[in-house]
Amino acid sequence: MEVTGKSKYIYSDSELDRSEGQIIETLKAQSQQPLADPDAWLDEEIDRNILLTTVDAVFDWARRYSVWPAMFAPACCAFEMICMAASRFDLSRFGMEIFRASPRQADLMLCAGTMTWKMAPQLKRIYEQMAEPKWVIAMGACAISGGIFRSSYAVVPGYNRIIPVDVYVPGCPPRPEAVLHGIRMLHRKIAEGHVNIELNPLKAKQERLKDT
Ligand code: SF4
């Protein structure tokens, strides 16, 4: 580059223009990359930390781990039921250790024993006094079909003649493990329930009355 006596600058105007143009072109070329998404990390974070669910699922989850059984044990299966609630089999693991003396505070009837026709009206009344939603487990041969007393004039041949039964646990008597298995089956059934029906006790009652 020559320094002429006529110009007071080292660089000529055209050289300056060209140099500026090169700088701009270089900068332009370097600025054409797509911008990085500042929220890209969110996808992984959301996957790990946000759980999408429905109100039904939350209600059913809460219900199945807070089922309170009504005290209802008219015969010898009761001893296995009591055993199941004690420390060895530990029913409290499922939030169920509170056996209620009032049907209005219970939502599970664990039918443990032979039912006679004389007691049947009381069974029906206790069931109807329980709060909605409610479930029934028939525990043992007598509760399922009358068991060894099936041919007796005095014995109801199965609780399902009087009230709807959700789960049947066979045995005479069934072991506590078998009853726990039945309870886990009931939990699965509750998990598949629908809140719309169960939240409307009037509708549920009307449906029941229609069936009877
Ligand atoms: S099933 Fe067996 S143990 Fe249970 S109530 Fe009947 S006779 Fe008793």
> For position 84, which CATH number holds?
3.40.50.12280
pLDDT of residue 44: 74
Please indicate, yes or no, if residue 28 is contained in any of the structural domains.
no
Ligand 1 within 6 A of 141 CB? Answer: yes
Cα–ligand 1 centroid distance for 52 (angstroms): 45
Please indicate, yes or no, if residue 169 is contained in any of the structural domains.
yes
Ligand 1 within 6 A of 174 CB? Answer: no
75: which residues sit within 8 A by CB, 6+ positions away? 112, 113, 114, 142
Paired tokens of 27: 């900068």
Ligand 1 within 6 A of 81 CB? Answer: no
Please indicate, yes or no, if residue 138 is contained in any of the structural domains.
yes
Q: pLDDT digits over 56-110, tens only?
A: 788 888 888 889 998 888 889 999 998 988 889 888 888 887 888 889 999 899 9
Ligand 1 within 6 A of 113 CB? Answer: yes
How far apart (Å, rounded) are the C-alpha atoms in residues 182 and 92?
15
- Closest to 147 measured CA to CA, from 181, 173, 129: 173
Average pLDDT, the chain: 83
The closest-lying atom of ligand 1 relative to the alpha carbon of residue 173 is 3
Please indicate, yes or no, if residue 11 is contained in any of the structural domains.
no
* Number of neighbours of residue 158 by Cβ within 10 angstroms: 20
Ligand 1 within 6 A of 145 CB? Answer: no
Strands 69-70 and 135-139: unpaired
Please indicate, yes or no, if residue 174 is contained in any of the structural domains.
yes
Ligand 1 within 6 A of 114 CB? Answer: yes
Ligand 1 within 6 A of 179 CB? Answer: no
List, in sequence order, every beta strand (DSSP E) within 93-190. Answer: 108-112, 135-139, 167-169
- Closest to 190 measured CA to CA, from 76, 56, 89: 56
Number of domains in the chain: 1
Please indicate, yes or no, if residue 129 is contained in any of the structural domains.
yes
The closest-lying atom of ligand 1 relative to the alpha carbon of residue 172 is 2
Cα–ligand 1 centroid distance for 72 (angstroms): 14
Q: pLDDT digits over 157-204, tens only?
A: 999 999 999 999 999 999 999 999 999 999 888 887 754 444 455 565
Which of 83, 111, 142 gets mutated to test ligand 1 (max ligand atoms within 8 A of its CB)? 142
Largest CA distance in the chain: 133
**Is residue 155's pLDDT more than 90?**
yes
Please indicate, yes or no, if residue 27 is contained in any of the structural domains.
no
Cα–ligand 1 centroid distance for 184 (angstroms): 22
Whole-model pTM: value is 0.69
Ligand 1 within 6 A of 86 CB? Answer: no
Using a pLDDT cut of 90, give the percent of the chain over it: 34
The residue type of 164 is: P
Cα–ligand 1 centroid distance for 113 (angstroms): 6
Paired tokens of 192: 């598949």
pLDDT of residue 92: 87
* Cα end-to-end distance, the chain, whole Å: 109
Domain that holds residue 114: 55-211
Please indicate, yes or no, if residue 46 is contained in any of the structural domains.
no
